[in-house]
Amino acid sequence: MPQPDPVIPASAEVLTLGPTDREAVFVLAVDPEAPKMAPLLAPKRLNGHAGQTLAGILGLSPEHEGEVELINPADLEGIGLSGYLIEGLGLDAARIAEDRDRLEALTAPVVVLRGRVAGLEDRVLPLPRGLTLIGRYGTTYTPIGLAPLSARAATGTLPPVPGPLPTGLRLSRPWQIALIVAAMALLGALFWLALSLL
């Protein structure tokens, strides 16, 4: 059942998602002063239900709770939020480098929203007071291609195969029946021999 379009206050920050955002990730900063964000400031109290809580805050259906993640930058000591986004989520390092200072300056919990929540249609997602978009980051793809072989033996072309290609041996129907009868006779003889030895 389609969700009704949300009523968006004129002052609300809006996130517009589309099918082209499927592989993108949106990073949202949490304002610790906003009352609605209070549950996110004590992740231990969420008791493993961070995705469910975040989906509720963002107005997403429960089926999308796996597409949102709560990250506490204090837990990323040694790697930092930028490193987590690059190494952990495989996001574009060059794009994250542009926002590195802003990302590393975040100390309150951060919400990571995957663009898959849009599905196959455009979706307007009003951000509640206390969540601010830091950036949209795409994934890095390693191009896969076939390079030409450099070995000397790999150059040139193979000569055509003379004549028709060999096919598997196929027996005609009478031969198939004869082989089955012979196999049954052999099994019968072996069985009779085994009985006579007892």
Domain total in the chain = 2
**pLDDT for res 98:** 92
97 belongs to a structural domain = yes
Whether residue 99 is found in the same domain as residue 193: no
Residue 8: which pLDDT band, with cuts at 50, 70 and 90? Answer: very low
> In a 3-state reduction of DSSP, which class is residue 155?
coil
163 belongs to a structural domain = no
Whether residue 92 is found in the same domain as residue 35: yes
Rounded mean pLDDT, 128-146: 76
Whether residue 175 is found in the same domain as residue 91: no
5 belongs to a structural domain = no
Question: Of the candidates 6, 58, 61, 60, which has an alpha carbon nearest to the alpha carbon of residue 28?
Answer: 58
At which of 92, 115, 137 does a domain end? Answer: 137
Give me the sheet containing 68-71, strands edge to edge: 68-71, 110-114, 25-30, 131-137
Distance CA 94, CA 87 (A): 13
Using a pLDDT cut of 70, give the percent of the chain over it: 75
Rounded mean pLDDT, 30-56: 77
Predicted confidence (pLDDT) at residue 150 exceeds the cutoff of 70? no
Asked if residue 115 lies in contact with residue 108, where contact means CB atoms within 8 angstroms, the answer is no
Predicted confidence (pLDDT) at residue 97 exceeds the cutoff of 70? yes
pLDDT tens-digit map of 109-133: 888 888 888 877 888 888 888 898 9
181 belongs to a structural domain = yes
Q: What pTM does this model have?
A: 0.61
Whether residue 24 is found in the same domain as residue 113: yes
Distance CA 79, CA 63 (A): 31
pLDDT tens-digit map of 56-91: 888 888 888 888 888 888 888 888 999 999 988 888
74 belongs to a structural domain = yes
Which residues have a Cβ under 8 Å from the Cβ of 197 and sit 6 or more positions away? none
Distance CA 58, CA 6 (A): 11
Whether residue 181 is found in the same domain as residue 125: no
Round the average pLDDT of the chain to a whole number and report it. Answer: 79
At which of 118, 137, 156 does a domain end? Answer: 137
157 belongs to a structural domain = no
Domain of 186, in residue numbers = 171-198
pLDDT: is 18 or 152 the higher one?
A: 18
Predicted confidence (pLDDT) at residue 185 exceeds the cutoff of 90? yes
176 belongs to a structural domain = yes
8 belongs to a structural domain = no
Whether residue 103 is found in the same domain as residue 40: yes
